[in-house]
Structure 1
């Protein structure tokens, strides 16, 4: 199931989504300990609801548990980045190739429209923030693969961890303009139904993004 399905959202879901968003955006800092009591007070829910949310956050790779420490937000590390982006490059490259084969003409038109909307955000050259879900370029291409196994593997496991690296380290500065141009080239390959080129360009795009984030991690 997609993490952005249209099924009714429960109060438990809302807390999970709220904490997840705070982790991805860095409001709850990477590496910080999660306190059930503190979070239950902030969100006005029981500790049982918070505990369930933390368990779900662990399942999507945003939280880890350590002996004698408890639940902590994952730390953004060089090794973690390398391993994550090796997987991302392979799977999203495959998604781009399948999208070129499987997306309908309507879906491709919507993808081009999405990119046109993104242009308004990047023309100042300062930032390129994409909300999670259908307005995220990468997520839209993943859906366009029409491969449910691939969609589940990415969206239910590492999607938000990838976003954590992207949002906190990779969506500002000089990389913004070049990333947008790379997106345009990927969409053009998909529009031309050139799956081989779409995969190559996506893999290269993710490699460049990894290099950018890696440089920022080293600076920190």
Structure 2
């Protein structure tokens, strides 16, 4: 099967499966939303701009897992102090990722692809690393099944895996990633980076390098 046809199949399958899953999982999402509201308040959904294919910005959705607690000066407490036990459960079970089905249905994301990171990273990538934006970001990806959050402090390796996925992509590879993701979630492997509630920030492989996305940030 040629690559162009495979891409078309992936495009159609992504949206069709996302629509079906949203219908089937809507009761679960409602229960989670109610639980988040009563345990952490509103908003229930964490929304953040993230770069997608070709660096275009979209609103990324997850169930909220941290509170908005601040110190005496009004600054947010460290992430690990704001991450609640219930929020940790949502992360371990990957239930916090369910709202991203809406991102897939809208066409912002795919089920499989490089994970969408922060907008400010666009100008920090090397040209090779920036290739991770040649495809739609995914709910899961090749880097996630080869380390998941444990790779957050190993950016070079994470981006190498993302680019490898792009160069070796096929529908069979996507299927393999999806199956392995299910096993990772069930075994609760590699959920968080040791000592961090969220991943370490990426400051760039080389402070002097700029990616070719500088002119896309304001799009």
TM norm structure 2: 0.28
Structure 1 or 2: larger strand share?
2
Q: Which has the higher relative contact order, 1 or 2, with Cα contacts under 8 A spaced 6 or more apart? A: 1
Q: TM-score, normalised on structure 1?
A: 0.28
